[in-house]
Structures are given as C-alpha cells and as structure tokens.
A and B are shown apart, each in its own frame.
Chain A
Amino acid sequence: MIIQSVKMAWESITSNKLRSFLTMLGIIIGVLSLVVMVSLVNGATGAVTDQINSLGNDMLSVAVLDDKGVPLRLEDLQTIQADDAVLQVAPSVSAQMTAKHGYKDAFVSVYGTTSAYYDINGLELECGRFIKTVDVENASYVAVISKEAEEELFGDDSALGETLNISGRAFKIVGVLKENDSMISMMVSGLAVYVPYTVESRMAGQPYVSSFCVSARNATDEAEKAVKDYLLARFAKDDNAFAIINISSVSDAMSTVTDTLSLLLGGVAAISLLVGGIGIMNIMLVSVTERTKEIGIRKAIGAGRKSILMQFLIEALMLSLLGCTIGLVFSWLILEIVSVIAGSITFTMSFGTVALAVIFSSAIGLLFGLYPANKAAKKHPIEALRYGG
C-alpha cells in the first residue's frame, strides 16, 4: 500500500512538473539557507577556533601592570611553578628592537625567556635547538629565530650558526622555529627572536619579569586561580595590578558567540522553511479541490479514508523531501564554491546539519500536508463524484 501510494504521489508530482517545482522552491530555498548559513558559521567558527587554539589552549599569559615596588624576579616564577595546579612557568619579556644581518635589517620582537617557553607555547623547531637553562644561567648571546624572521633576514639561506646583530650585540643563532601557519599567532608575535631571559633583561636594563606565561597541569582554571592568588598576595590584593589572559576562556567566549550566531541564522532559515511549508499547504489545497472528482472515483471503487489520507500526505511529504534533496545538492555546490573562494577555510555540510534539514522538512511536509489530506479524505463520495459534471 505504501509503495502504491508513493507511486501515485510520484505520478501526480511529475504530471505537473512546473507547479511541483514552484511548490518545492519554498522548501529548496529554506533548506538552502538553513544548511548554507549553519555550515558557513560552523566553518568560520572552526577556522577561528583553530587559530585561537594554536596560541596554546592550556596556556595563561600574565602581564604585570603595576609592580607596587615589589617586582617579580625569575626566582619568583619558581615559586609559582611550585604550585600543584601549575606545570611550567616561563618569562616572556619582550622588546621591539632592530636586528641586522649583513646589509639586511628588520624590526623584530625580542623575547627574553627560558627553556620552558618552548613547551608552554607548543613551539616546534625546524633545526637546531631552543634556549637552554645553561644559556639563561650564563647569559649567553644565543638566539632562536622564527621562520618568518629567517626569511626576512637571511632570504633562502639557512640562518643556523650565523650571527645576528641586535642593538649592537652579536648573537649566535642556535635554532630556527618551524613556520607557524596560524594567522593570529603571526599577528601576535610578529618576527620573533627568542633570547635567554637574562640577556634580554640586561639589554633592556630592567631585571624584572613584567610578563610571563604559565601552562596548567590539569585545568587552566585551576592554574589561573593559583596564579591569581599568588599575585594578589604579592600586589597588596589589587587585582588591577596584573592581567591574566586565559586563552581557553577566549575560545569559550568565541564559541558562545558563534553558537548564538548559528542559532540566530538557523532560526531565520527555519522561518523561510516554514513559509515553504505554507506554500506546500496552499498547493495541496488547490490540488485537493482540483482532484475532487478523482477522490470521488477512488472512494466509489473502494478507497477508504485512510487510503486517501495516506495518498495526499505522502504526496506532501514527497514534495518537501524532494525539495529538501534539491536544496541539499545546491547547498553542497555553494559550499564547495565558497570553500574554493575562501581558500584557507573549508566549509563542509556536517551530518547534523543535513539531518536537521531532512527532519525539519519532513516535519513541515507532514504538518502542512495533514490539513489538505484530511480535507480530501473527508470528502463525501457522491458529492465528490458530482463535482465538475
């Protein structure tokens, strides 16, 4: 019976192709906007979240804004590291300086740090090594440079083992970092050159740790609390004296924003699906009136209410599902095109989005098909037979 109803519905849909297509258009556009909007938001969210995570998701950045006459020293960082919630601590004191190699020079960010910085920030070496504890203790003039800085100052040549002049001092380059493809970290760190903390503080004439980074043993929130407690105790309970940036809380906030965004856009798209459903109801009502005679004939030769109801309901369902399928195909095409245009970001239809579209359009088909189908089923056979002659 179901197979027969599907066959009948198919016949009736194909017998008036233009009308069926126009009826489906509402659903097509609805599904299209739903899937494309949600997928675009998801794709953009994914890309931004990746960028943020690449900054180090389990990392805290701390900046001391007002040292109250009791500035932090390297030894104090050891005290912070002693806390159970904290895994590693490294200073990240930076200064903008000019670096020279041969005739080339560039404006670079010089970071004075320790060996722990490497792990905390999840850096990767292309060659050589990172700053070692010995370098910090001996205040050796060694530097590790980023790939971008290498390209800027050395072109295609390898910088490893070469000498770099920063503010009149010669540094031996002991390591080159891998290229970081994250746009945000590129913006944040610029052309980075890492030198031992002791060297940097000597150059800057300021032997204090004004900023440092912390990695958490477990949850970043716990580490944040530990660091905050320590700093509050140190800086006379003034929480304006320092700033802690928790990257994971940034990405949490980000995902809240994008969740709201996709809900909002999805909601707008759902409204257009609803309008599509009304279109289906409208045409189904016209179709029921037009086919009054057919309904009469079917009833006279033995179709019960249920069969007629089924037939029209399946027709409405098929219309909306067909529209949904076409909408999904177009969505896929659009997302492919957008992905090509956007380049670095790929937009894909997630299974969840597709399922949402299918479930939503079937629900719409059933909901708006029910009234016309019921109207058809309730027709009296004699009156229906008499309709239109």
Chain B
Amino acid sequence: MQNKKTVISMKEITKIYNVGGEEVRALDGASLEIREGEFVSIIGPSGSGKSTLMNIMGCLDVQDSGKYLLDNQAIESYSEEELAKIRNKKIGFIFQNFNLLSRMTAFANVELPLIYQKVPASKRKELVKEALAQVGLLERSEHKPSELSGGQQQRVAIARALATKPSILLADEPTGNLDSKTGEEIIRLFKELHKKGHTIVFITHNDDIARQAQRCIRIMDGRVTEVDGV
C-alpha cells in the first residue's frame, strides 16, 4: 500500500468563514493523505467541518492557508476557470441529494461532464455506456431522474462521476437520502468499484457505514484524527 502514489495530500489546511462578523474556523490545521486505490470514509458530526474539507478536496473551494496537492499539483495557484477543468478531469462528485439535472435523461446527465471535456460525440457515447454499465443501469439510460428510484438516481450520479475516469471519487453523504437497504446497495457498489481500483472518499455521519471503508478518518472541530483500520 505504501508504494502507491499519493492522490491527495493536505497539510495544515485552514479555512475561516465570516458568519455575522464572527470568525468560524471550519478547518483548523487539518492534514491528511489519500493514496491511489484507497477506500476512505470521513466521519464527523454536523458542523465538524467535513463538508468544508470535502469542498476543498473537490476543488470547489480554496483553503485560506496550508498546502493541498492533488496529483502533486498545488491547487491554490489556479484560477477559477482552471479549477473547473481540474474538477472536470480529476474529480467525480457524488452528492447526498444526487444533483441530477431533472430535464435530462440519465444518459444526458452522465454525458454532461464529457461535453465540458470536449470529448467527441462517438467517444462520449462509448464512455457513457461504459459508465452506466458499471452501475448496472444501461437499460435505463433513456429515463429521466423523476422516473427512477432514489437508489437508481444515485447510481446514475455515480455513473456521471465515473464517466470521466477521474483520479478520485468524492461522495458527500451518498446514502443520506436513501433508506438503509438502498444505502447498503450503494456502499456495496462502492466496494465493487474499489476492487476495480478506483480511489474513493466518502463523507458520512453514520459510524456503521463509515466502518465499511478500508480506512476511517474522523474530523472534529476542524481537526483531523485518523482512526485507522476500524
């Protein structure tokens, strides 16, 4: 495991928000490392800064201080337009409430990040089919999100994250809006993807789900503590 390449390296990351004139230290010197092929859960109560950590990890936000290397690239030096490109190429987001575009079919939703990557149409079709096949929803590709169950919607979202073949899959409470049985299915899907070599990081506040990961990182008041090999 140790000889694997480091995908994410965070050192002393601090993020301060100004809420009503008062400073809130969402992250206070958080450090962590994630290597290629790992399956990591980040657990913490609400308000612990796990969403902020996730946003920075996913290049949606930039830290105030500290060093963040994604694939050995320092993120803080990039412009917004370049960050968008990095999100597009290296990160696959999976959200708690799926965040699919309701007007589009499953196929079109999965296709979207590839369009922003300017992948030619024929290649796009191939990649979308591949991604949908991985989550077992190929036969539902022409359905709109409203015609799919919650678990299916989340799987479409996972396919969307997989389509660009990113360095890392980032999931923010992926089971939060699902019943426990469907949640289990999603976690099982994550495990399968992990076996295929994908690097996966997910956030949860549920200990049982967190324990299913290979490694568990606990976050509390903006500080990170590792709970290795739970």
Contact = CB atoms under 8 A, between A and B. Distances in A.
A256 interface: no
Contact of B81 (A12, A296, A304): A304
Given A1-B118, A381-B60, A302 B89 contact: yes
B99 A303 contact: no
Given A4-B115, A300-B93, A307-B116, A15 B84 contact: no
A294 interface: yes
Interface string B71-108: 00000000011001101110001010101110110000
Interface in A268-311: 293-294, 296-307
A97 interface: no
Contact of B87 (A4, A294, A302): A302
A294 B61 CA distance: 18
A303 B114 CA distance: 10
Nearest to A5: B115
A303 B101 contact: no
A304 B95 CA distance: 19
A24 B101 CA distance: 25
A307 B58 CA distance: 19
A364 B55 CA distance: 38
Given A382-B60, A389-B97, A302 B81 contact: no
Given A12-B103, A294-B101, A381-B60, A301 B93 contact: yes
A15 B108 CA distance: 15
A318 to B, nearest CB: 16
A304 B85 contact: yes
Contacts of A4: 115
A119 interface: no
A305 B93 contact: no
Contact of A302 (B61, B103, B104, B116): B116
B112 interface: yes
A305 B83 CA distance: 11
A49 B203 CA distance: 80
A301 B111 CA distance: 11
Contacts of A297: 99-101
A354 B89 CA distance: 45
A10 B124 CA distance: 21
Contact of A382 (B61, B81, B100): B61
B160 interface: yes
Nearest to A299: B84
B160 A301 contact: yes
Contacts of B85: 302, 304
B117 interface: yes
Contacts of A296: 99
Given A11-B103, A297-B101, A381-B60, A305 B81 contact: yes
B151 interface: no
B84 A304 contact: yes
Interface in B34-67: 55, 58, 60-61
Contact of B80 (A15, A293, A305, A385): A305
Contacts of B113: 301-302
Nearest to A306: B81
B88 to A, nearest CB: 2
Contact of A305 (B84, B87, B97): B84
A381 to B, nearest CB: 5
A315 to B, nearest CB: 13
A304 B113 CA distance: 11
A298 B60 contact: no
Nearest to A308: B84
Contacts of B118: 1
Interface in A1-60: 1, 4, 11-12, 15
A301 B58 contact: no
Contacts of A299: 60, 84, 87
A302 B58 CA distance: 11
A371 B115 CA distance: 25
A309 to B, nearest CB: 11
Contact of A300 (B58, B115, B117): B58
Interface of A: 1, 4, 11-12, 15, 293-294, 296-307, 381-382, 385, 389
29 contacts: A1-B118, A4-B115, A11-B103, A11-B104, A15-B103, A293-B99, A297-B100, A299-B84, A300-B58, A300-B99, A301-B88, A301-B112, A301-B113, A301-B160, A302-B84, A302-B85, A302-B87, A302-B89, A303-B84, A303-B116, A304-B116, A305-B80, A307-B84, A307-B116, A381-B60, A382-B60, A382-B61, A385-B99, A389-B97
9 closest A-B pairs (Cβ-Cβ)?
Answer: A302-B88, A304-B84, A301-B113, A302-B116, A304-B81, A297-B99, A302-B87, A381-B60, A4-B115
Given A11-B104, A303-B88, 5 more contacts: A296-B99, A299-B87, A301-B87, A302-B85, A302-B117
